[in-house]
A and B are shown apart, each in its own frame.
Chain A
Amino acid sequence: MLNLVVCLKQVPMVTELPWDEESGTLRRDLAAGMMNPACKHALEAALQIKEKFTAKITVITMGPPASEEVLREALALGADEAILVCDRLLAGSDTFATSLVLKEAIKKKCPKFDLILCGAYTADSETAQVGPQLAEELDLPAAAYVEKLEISGKTLRVRRLVDNFRETLEMEFPALVTISMENYKPRYTGMAGLKDAFDEKAVMVLNARALGLTASSIKTKGSRTKVRRVFLRKAQKGNVLLQGAASNVVNEFLDKYQRKIGTVIGKSIEGKKLDDEK
């Protein structure tokens, strides 16, 4: 049986995230959470492996209590076990600390894993670093941005596109991959999995102490980076508004910007409307 671990993250639904102009911070508290899209693709990849081979899927996340929601969603989709690592001591962890904590949890609860799957990047911070750093922590062969997985025996073959190079890589289990959003389109959550996903015992919660981490060890082994401030990117433009019937605005637009467009596309565009009827 294959032992699969999928790392998940809950991210805010960004459209709903308001910016507080006065304090200059994000109103994270107002945002609903969702499973990070790339993580959902990683889970889908695991589910497809499970359909083909016998496999057990353990999903794991680190975050505030509310991030249990993504574990329940994963259970509803077909994951078998769920682990939530949750502790105030771990709040504000950077990728260095997060990958350390995930390693401890995996070593404690599923040390016999064959393959770890992560999303290639998260929608909120987009660092794409936790996967590779977790591979480093566990000293695993790894591949990022994986589009397609094939398994035969204990060998994993992956296809991916990096910097315009199409690569096929092979490695032996145990290994780690981060999954891109090209393939593995996530399935819909079926109604049948929802009830059991909310079985109280379905999610195991671990705190820092359970992982052998204390306030002082987190300080020395934990985050390396610090966010000094977050600010809004200025993107206001000098805006020209054209209104009216479509045919008129199109002509007005082309008359006004014919040179700009012509330069970019490398062709010349007539400045004035041609009166070819006459």
Chain B
Amino acid sequence: MQLNPCAKHKLVRDSVRHFAETELAPIAAEIDRTATFPRAVIEKMRPLNYFGLQVPKEFGGAALDSVSSAIIVEELSRVCAAIGLCVTVHNGVAVYPFLKFATSEQKKHYLPKLARGEYIGAFSLTEANAGSDSASVETTAVKTKNEYILNGTKIFVTNGGICDLALIFALTGFEPGKPQSSVFIVESKYAGFLRGELENLCGMRANPVSSLFLEDCCVPEKNLLGKIGDGMKIGLTTLDNGRIGVAAQALGIAQGAFEAAVKYAKERQQFKKPIASLQTIQNYIAEMATEIAAARLLLYRACTLKDEGAPFGCEASMAKLYCSTVASKVTSLAVQIHGGYGYSKEYDVERYFRDAKVTEIYEGTSEIQRMVIARSVLSQLIF
């Protein structure tokens, strides 16, 4: 594993940073305040291939490695986490399962549209009574002649308000005690696909998170992803990858808040000197810097394993757990360093503070990550 960024990763970072600072920075606070999804910016991101980060070139993607992909999400989130979220959900959990499980027919049909960003994707597992426990979904899919009829309600769907395509987890086996879930490619234009109101959330407010209602939604048979009963497998595989994305997002938020805090600490004068010269503030800054650096290494390690084709689930969970913990801590300290101003919407750190929290919750809560990590450790034979 390369510990210093190679020229490619530097250029990836510079390119995205330039885009984010030019296009997202001027609107980030505003779209958060008004909870508006910035379609105009998304239009600019499409031709730049932000929606096909790891899709092979033959399908019109950028075919980038996982570290590059993480850097991209990190840099977008450093400026505007809600857009980072849109991109990482699309690439990490909507497109990724296609790469892993789709038939060549499905790939040929959907990947170019997804890679171009013509279709924005969503991943739809969560229900009122099913979170990380993918086995307990209640949405059902009943086979007719050559279609599946889906019924059920999905909640907290990231990109839900705007997605053109969602991967829907639904029950296809009804043997008592042995629920079998499967995954369906559902386009928003299908009859019976309905969106709920946008959620009114604490952070990431510019992302249109919504419920999805499936009311006798007819899905062609060929839109089954993987095999019947593959739901659990697809869910777990996808979440491993999604966790890398959330970790990258958390890291970007932490980085953004950290930079704002350092800048403020150097500018803000108290007792006739910048507060950065006070030891307490210096301690905060040292801690933030160190933890962000550690989080970054953990994240890139998971990415590197993934690119090498090695198992990376445990490492992805570690990265997600640690990066999100660091994000919450760093954004909180950044508010603290800003004092009263940090609690005001005048300053960006207030937004970072709200955005960070959810990284400890979605794509598996920190508690679930600990469970995954512990299971992996306990299963190792060396102990």
Contact = CB atoms under 8 A, between A and B. Distances in A.
A binds B: yes
Contacts of A69: 7, 10-11
Contact of B50 (A76, A191, A197): A191
Contact of B52 (A72, A192, A194, A197): A192
B15 A198 contact: no
B356 interface: no
Interface residues of B, number: 24
A188 B18 contact: yes
Given A191-B53, A194-B64, A195-B64, A73 B11 contact: yes
B245 to A, nearest CB: 15
B43 interface: no
B185 interface: no
B18 A191 contact: no
Nearest to B53: A191
B50 to A, nearest CB: 6
B62 A198 contact: no
B314 interface: no
Interface string A45-57: 0000000000000
A76 to B, nearest CB: 7
Interface in A52-103: 68-69, 72-73, 76
A192 B18 contact: no
B15 A188 contact: yes
A69 B15 CA distance: 12
B256 interface: no
Contacts, number: 59
A196 to B, nearest CB: 8
Contacts of B72: 191
A189 interface: yes
Interface of A is mostly: helix
Interface string B1-18: 000000110111011001
A218 interface: no
B213 interface: no
Contacts of A197: 8, 11
B155 to A, nearest CB: 31
A34 interface: yes
Contacts of A266: none
A244 interface: no
A78 B283 CA distance: 46
B8 A194 contact: yes
B73 to A, nearest CB: 12
- Most central of A189, A191, A192 by chain B CB within 10 Å: A191
A192 B7 contact: no
B49 interface: yes
B53 A189 contact: no
A191 B49 contact: yes
Contacts of B61: 192
B11 A68 contact: no
Interface string A136-161: 00000000000000000000000000
B19 interface: yes
Interface residues of A, number: 15
A159 B254 CA distance: 48
Contact of A194 (B11, B18, B19, B22): B11
B274 interface: no
Interface string A211-234: 000000000000000000000000
B63 interface: yes
B15 A68 contact: no
A271 to B, nearest CB: 32
Nearest to A76: B11
B47 interface: yes
A214 B48 CA distance: 44
Nearest to B15: A189
Contacts of A192: 48-49, 52, 57, 61-62
Contacts of B49: 190-192
A188 B52 CA distance: 16
A198 B48 contact: no
A190 B12 CA distance: 9
Interface in B46-101: 47-50, 52-53, 57, 61-64, 68, 72
20 contacts: A34-B14, A69-B11, A72-B11, A73-B14, A73-B15, A76-B11, A76-B15, A188-B19, A188-B22, A188-B48, A189-B18, A190-B62, A191-B12, A191-B15, A191-B48, A191-B62, A192-B62, A195-B62, A197-B11, A198-B8
Given A73-B14, A194-B8, 13 more contacts: A69-B11, A76-B15, A189-B11, A189-B15, A190-B62, A191-B53, A191-B62, A194-B15, A194-B62, A194-B68, A195-B57, A195-B62, A198-B8
